């Protein structure tokens, strides 16, 4: 499978614990996005990388959230001191941005479902 891969698919944790999710984008895709989705809502943007550089962060990304993409390949999203409000689906997407912009296709993974008890 050459699509976007996310691990784990499901995570149950207790309030106050730290969790880390991993995203493996499509090979050679230079852009990587993180989104969060709660029930009945569309995905909400969290942050975005171009290669290893984190270029944009949403106001939704509190200090408890940190994302990395150390070598411009896979990315991790860590949530420290989880709260019940962090329960959501965390989605990763990747894209290949060329020198000429003719629209950008994002390819999404299946997400990591986080439940904070």
- Measure the CA–CA gap between 53 and 61, rounded to whole angstroms: 16
* Site map (CB under 8 A) of other proteins, residues 84-113, x = contact: -------xxx---x---x-xxxxxxxxx--
CB 92 within 8 A of CB 6: yes
Site for other proteins in 26-85 (CB under 8 A): 31, 33, 40-45, 48, 50, 55-56, 58
CA angle 93, 36, 64 (to 5 degrees): 110
Site of interaction with other proteins (CB under 8 A): 4, 31, 33, 40-45, 48, 50, 55-56, 58, 91-93, 97, 101, 103-111
């Amino acid at each position: 499978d050459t699509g976007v891969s996310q691990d784990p698919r499901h995570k149950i944790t207790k309030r106050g614990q730290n969790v880390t999710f991993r995203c493996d984008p499509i090979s050679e895709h230079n852009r990587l996005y993180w989104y969060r989705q709660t029930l009945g809502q569309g995905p909400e943007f969290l942050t975005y990388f171009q290669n290893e550089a984190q270029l944009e962060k949403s106001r939704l990304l509190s200090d408890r959230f940190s994302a990395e993409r150390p070598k411009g390949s896979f990315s991790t999203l860590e949530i420290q001191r989880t709260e019940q409000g962090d329960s959501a689906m965390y989605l990763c997407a990747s894209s290949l941005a060329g020198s000429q912009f003719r629209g950008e296709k994002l390819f999404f993974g299946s997400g990591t479902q986080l439940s904070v008890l």
